[in-house]
Amino acid sequence: MGQNSIGTNSYGAYGGYGGMMGFAQSDRPVEPGWGGAVLDYAQVRDFLAGSMQGARVDARTHTVTYSGREVRIAMVAVQPGHPDQTFEVAGLTNPTLVVPRGATVRIDLVNMDYGRNMEHGLIITPVPPPYPYMAMMATGPGLVQLEPLLPWRSDSRLRAASYAALSTSFVAGKPGTYWYVCPTPEHAEKGMVGRFIIR
């Protein structure tokens, strides 16, 4: 994505391609060749098990704090057992994420949701909530964007399903409070958003 007020953004290990503001694909379940990785249930379980690596989780303050020069945030869009239209990190729903200034931050996102209009993505923006139905009208492309939108899982049965995954990396530059937001229409309006702090 180039330089921005957070830092430099580039696609990470799961690859990716961009459509206009992340809406290039149709509303459909994940299939091979969608533009990112396709994980099976065992790989998603490993992903979830690794979501706390390098993180200090404080359930009392609902905060996940990272340290070091290399930060990996393992994030799930709508993890089963959590509320609908939310992100999960390290077992918390829509937690505040804190990263150190100057760190290279990699965000890995897996979509565990199922059903029509359940594609999810991620924008990091300085624009705080509340957001309208079309959140991107308020956030624009954001300062960091993970694109394209991740399709919903392939099957209603968790163990039988395939899951879409995508990654993006950026340098946490300017200190401040930002917000991670799902750009799918209505999702941020319904609460698919969390605080992202660089300090």
- Could you report the per-residue pLDDT of 35-62, keeping only the tens digit for each? 999 999 999 999 999 888 889 999 999 9
Residue 105, domain member (yes or no): yes
Q: How far is CA 8 from CA 103, 122, 146, 169, 188, in A?
A: 11, 16, 13, 8, 25
pLDDT class for 72, splitting at 50, 70, 90? very high
Q: At 157, which CATH number? A: 2.60.40.420
| Residue 147 falls inside a structural domain | yes
Q: Quick check: is 4 in a domain?
A: no
pLDDT value at residue 53:
84
b/e per residue 142-176 (b: at least 16 CB within 10 A) = bbbbbbbbbbbbbeeeeeebbbbbbbbbbbbbeee
Mean per-residue pLDDT of the chain: 88
Q: 3-state DSSP call for residue 22?
A: helix
Tokens of 197: 């702090």
Task: Provide the whole-model pTM.
Answer: 0.88
- Residue 131 belongs to a domain: yes
Residue 16 lies in a domain: yes
Domain annotation covers residue 148 = yes
Number of domains within the chain: 1
What is the domain range of residue 58?
A: 9-198
Nearest-angstrom CA–CA distance, 183 and 124? 10
Residue 175 lies in a domain: yes
Structural domain includes residue 2:
no
